[in-house]
Chain A
Amino acid sequence: MAEVKAVEKEVKIEEVLEPSLDKELRIKRKKVVDPGFDETIKRLTPEKIEKTINAVLNLRKTAARFLAPLETCIHCALCSDACQYYISHDKDPTYSPASKLRLTLWEMIRRKGKVSPEFIKQCARIAFTECNICHRCSMYCPFGLDITYQIGMVRRILFLLGVVPHNILDQDNSQSATLTQLWISQADWIDTIQWLEDETRLEYKNLRLPIEKEGAEVMWAPLGTEPKIATYHVVRTAIIMNVAGIDWTVPSRDGWDSVNMAMFIRDFETMQRVVLGLYENCLRLKVKRLVLTE
């Protein structure tokens, strides 16, 4: 926890430049201090960066897939007006979606993957803290260029290099190891559901939070935060289900947490495992519907 507090303090450091970058790529930003950026880039070597970028972009075979959108873009700036980061930063052109590609993917391709760890850190700041993959820019593009997909591939490269905001990466790590967002043990998950039923049925007669009820109509898959730190959400869901007369259940096995942080950082493998876990539980319990929080 001491480390996290230190990070919060350092975030207040004012505007900095990235002196190691080419002049044209230097952009003014408040410094983002995150061990997921600052410490992880120390583990990188030029060789690893080059190999990773080339593996993802497959520059020999499929560079056109990435290059064509970049070359088709006429910089009309329609995407800019779709971007909340651009608008909320007084229309600073360095926040425009096209600019974000220019500052990340374009340079990766132009330099055939030969970029520095500092450049990777800048890419991480742009791809993770100046774009939230909302897809609005792609919708606005008159050519239908999927800018979000391109930024997503930048995130994929960053995930493979391990340069990801540490809070998000830790949740992804948790999902990889436990299929839960917040390192929730199997015992704590079931115990929490039982404890909440104990508490709630004092107020709502015969209220149940059924675990492993085969053949129920609905399987509910909460966010990991709900049993971990927002248990009142679980209680409210249980009350709604019971009052509405819905035949529902939750699984006891891993594959109950519907958070998919892996999707946001393009850890496609963990992303698939999270989704498969939910489906496997639904099919095993023979439910007809999967209900997710959000």
Chain B
Amino acid sequence: MTGLSNWDWDTKEKLLADINEWKEKFVNIRELIPSDDGEKIAAVVLTEDKRFTTCINGEVWEETFDRVWSLKFNPDNQLLCFVYRNFEWNFVVEHEISEEAFDYLWNLTLTPDGKGIAFNIKVGEEYGAYINGKRWENLFVDARDLAVSPDGKKTASRVQTKRKGAVDIFAFWEKIWTIAVDGNLWDNTFLAVWGVLFSSDSAHVATAVRTEQAQYTIAVDGKAWEGKFGLVWDPIFKPGSSDVIAPVRTPKGWTMAMNGKPIWGNFYQVLHQKYSPDGQKIAAVVAPQFPKWTIAVDGTPWNIIFNEAALAPVFSPDSKKVAAVVKDNNRWTIAVDGSPWMEKFDNIWDPIFTPDSDKVVAKAERNGRYFLVIDGKVGKQEFEHLWTPVFSPDGGKLLIRCIDKGKYYRRVVAIDEI
């Protein structure tokens, strides 16, 4: 999240929109989307003339459309979205409608610095991607998913390289799927590809590939690992390196592999691996028993297991702690380094560490009401709706974006007041 230090961390409360008034003003209001800094809140709204537009902090855009979707604020608090009218789609940046039109747009993605935008495009019956004002020169039979490079200059999608006839199983066996980077195909094709992503230096791309009927591996820049596996899950790059790790299934079970070679012991399942910020540790969801879940760090599972779920692990900024959402006996909570919070919830969102890695906070739901939970202690206040909180740069305050009695508030609360 960029520009945190420029946000208003002094004003304790701002009432920015009366959503109850919106409900009287519009025929229908879609999902509310706040800006990262909480200063703005927007929604797609249906007006009396049965047309769609956007409303930001109560101000309605005069332009109307047949459809509006995929609202998103950039760090400059400009509202981005896709709009459809006269049988064509355009993208919009702060009420400025693109001159270029498309047959469909999806996967709206900000570049990591938040200054650029990228998305997938459909033109006629061909598909591709668009980034920073430029569409791919080459379009394809199909393009799925969008990865944006960390430098914000490249895009990659998994693409179908040749059109095949209906029910043509033989064309599929010719291997017609691969990755396109900025519209340029890899040299090699595969039966199927999924899970595309860039390395931290934006120079490499990795993906999971299916090479034979029941043979899978990872491909980096089009070249498949020599090691082949019964199945693999999405790869990730080691930060600052071109090394790739991915969960793989061997005859002995699931394990973690780096560059094609197993580096962990075996489990019933391994998935959602993450590197620590310093790049020295790997954590992942594992199933040491069937079908029970926990987190393993560098191949060593926590001593506790959960009978329903463990979600993708989250490292603390100092790389020393790991937290994860876990589910046991139909109740959700957070576990930090293998110790689950005592309080349980109907739903809980990903854990967020304070910048000094000392505390963990999460948004949680119980009986249809939302709370903040810090180190397992439920906050004093409950909300009709609550978005993911954000810590101040010094970690002493928390930005709360919430709906309280039908009104949208931006609040700044000291950690010890939650």
Contacts and interface: CB of A to CB of B under 8 A. Distances in A.
Contact of B144 (A176, A186, A283): A186
A170 B164 CA distance: 11
A198 B68 CA distance: 12
A273 B160 CA distance: 19
Interface string B164-193: 011111101100010000000000000110
Interface in B199-249: 210, 213-214, 216, 230-231, 233
Contacts of A206: 27-28, 46
B172 A190 contact: no
A3 B169 CA distance: 12
A191 B230 contact: no
Interface string A162-203: 100011011001001110000101111011001000100000
A268 B127 CA distance: 30
A66 interface: no
Given A162-B173, A283-B311, A178 B142 contact: yes
Nearest to A217: B368
Interface in A268-294: 268-269, 272-273, 276, 283, 286, 288
Contacts of A198: 66-67
B107 interface: yes
Nearest to A164: B169
Given A159-B213, A194-B69, A186 B172 contact: no
Given A186-B120, A272-B231, A4 B167 contact: yes
Contacts of B346: 288
A187 B127 contact: yes
Given A39-B170, A185-B144, A206-B27, A176 B191 contact: yes
A160 B365 contact: no
Given A173-B172, A187-B122, A269 B107 contact: no
Contacts of B69: 194, 211
22 contacts: A1-B166, A40-B169, A160-B214, A167-B167, A170-B166, A170-B172, A178-B142, A186-B107, A187-B103, A194-B67, A194-B69, A198-B67, A206-B28, A214-B31, A215-B365, A253-B145, A267-B213, A269-B230, A273-B194, A276-B233, A283-B309, A286-B349
What 7 pairs across the A-B complex have the smallest Cβ distances?
A: A187-B104, A173-B172, A177-B192, A176-B192, A187-B122, A170-B167, A269-B231
